[in-house]
Amino acid sequence: MASIVPIFVPHAGCPCQCVFCNQRTIAGQKQRMTPAQAREILQHAHAILPAGNIPQAAFYGGSFTAIPVEQQEELLAVTDEFFAAGKISSVRISTRPDAIDEEILSRMKRHHVTVIELGAQSMDDTVLQNARRGHTAANTERAAALIRRAGISLILQTMAGLPGDTRETVRYTAQCIAALKPDGVRIYPVAVLPNTPLYDDWQAGRYQPLDVETAAVWCADMLEIFEREHIPVIRVGLNPTEELDSTVVAGAYHPAMGELAYGELWYRRLCRHIQMTGERTISVAPRELSRAIGHKKRNLLRLREQFGAVHIVAQ
């Protein structure tokens, strides 16, 4: 798989302040991305990647298509230059559902954008409103349809544990997202960051964050739905960084969040398997062994408590 070179455009183009977002913390930088910086990032990537690895440039971190068009064009002029020189294969961007229309999409296509990551977050309008997203589920449905029609790959980002979310609203979101047939999804359980409205709500007792264990259960529900619909899940949980490790103050942040969610999914599978077959020694593919056994052998211990002497072995 080709590498992705992230170019963070922090907190740019956002018409509102989503309650959970401190994009500057996530993006790890505080200034506006300039074309010169973007060029430097791409040059550096080109210099260190092995010959033949032609990466994709990715404008992440804000709402790319909502920043002033001149700024988009300045940055895209840089990626155009690298594309023309054969130094990048294509471009991907992340943006908001209400910052997509036909004209924007044809402009993106002219600049070699082949993947758009859309921050859907929830498909429940009350939850979206609580999160102060400034868009509705209908915006996401419309944008997703336009992106697919334009022949651009669609990745939908979802969250679990926003204010007002329940296990049911999160499942509902996953079902609606699956119905949009994206090429992939990301699942981010909510982590509370300082300097956000969510932090203030948490401090004032108005918001109860998800704990890691509950997040794993809710994310496993989402994984089950996406798996059933054959939709690839490309990420569960925020990418752990030293900065996030020292910044997140509450909520469902764990460096192995994905493993915990997949572990929960495996626990359910194994329970069903034992109940249906009565087998106590279960073979799994070697690459799935650690997820089947669970983080810190959690699944094995729970299964043994429930069913007695269970063994999970690599096939």
Find out whether 159 and 189 touch, Cβ atoms under 8 Å: yes
Nearer to ligand SF4, 71 or 89 (CB): 71
Q: Which of 183, 4, 184, 190 is nearest to 88 (CA)?
A: 4
Asked if 254 is part of the footprint of ligand SF4 (rule: CB under 6 A), the reply reads no
Q: Do the Cβ atoms of 52 and 59 come closer than 8 Å? A: no
Residue number, 134 or 269, with CB nearest to ligand SF4:
134
Beta carbons within 8 Å of 103's beta carbon, 6+ residues apart: none
d(CA 59, CA 78): 12
CA 93, 227, 132, 23 dihedral sign is negative
Q: How far is the CB of 136 from ligand SF4 (least distance, A)?
A: 14
Integer Cα distance of 110 and 289 in angstroms: 45
- Could you say which residues in the range 9-68 bind ligand SF4, by CB under 6 A? 11, 14, 17-18, 21, 23, 62-63
- Interface characters, 192-211, with ligand SF4 (x: CB under 6 A): --------------------
112 binds ligand SF4 (CB under 6 A): no
- Determine, following the binding rule CB under 6 A, whether residue 251 of this chain makes contact with ligand SF4: no
Q: Which of 122/299 has CB closer to ligand SF4?
A: 122
Site string for ligand SF4, 72-111 (x = CB under 6 A): ------------------------x---------------
Nearest approach in angstroms of CB 6 to ligand SF4 is 14
Nearer to ligand SF4, 21 or 216 (CB): 21
| Cα torsion angle, 57, 58, 59, 61, sign | negative
CB of 135 vs ligand SF4, minimal distance in Å: 9
Instruction: Give the residues across from 187 on adjacent strands.
Output: 158, 236
Least distance (Å) from ligand SF4 to the CB of residue 297?
A: 36
CA distance 170 to 81: 42
Closer CB to ligand SF4, residue 55 or residue 182? 182
Question: In a 10 Å sphere around its CB, with 0-12 CB exposed, 13-18 middle and 19+ buried, how is residue 36 labelled?
Answer: exposed
Please name the residue that has the structure tokens 């044809």: 106
CB-nearer residue toward ligand SF4: 11 or 254: 11
Closer CB to ligand SF4, residue 62 or residue 237?
62
Residues contributing to the site for ligand SF4 (CB under 6 A): 11, 14, 17-18, 21, 23, 62-63, 96, 119
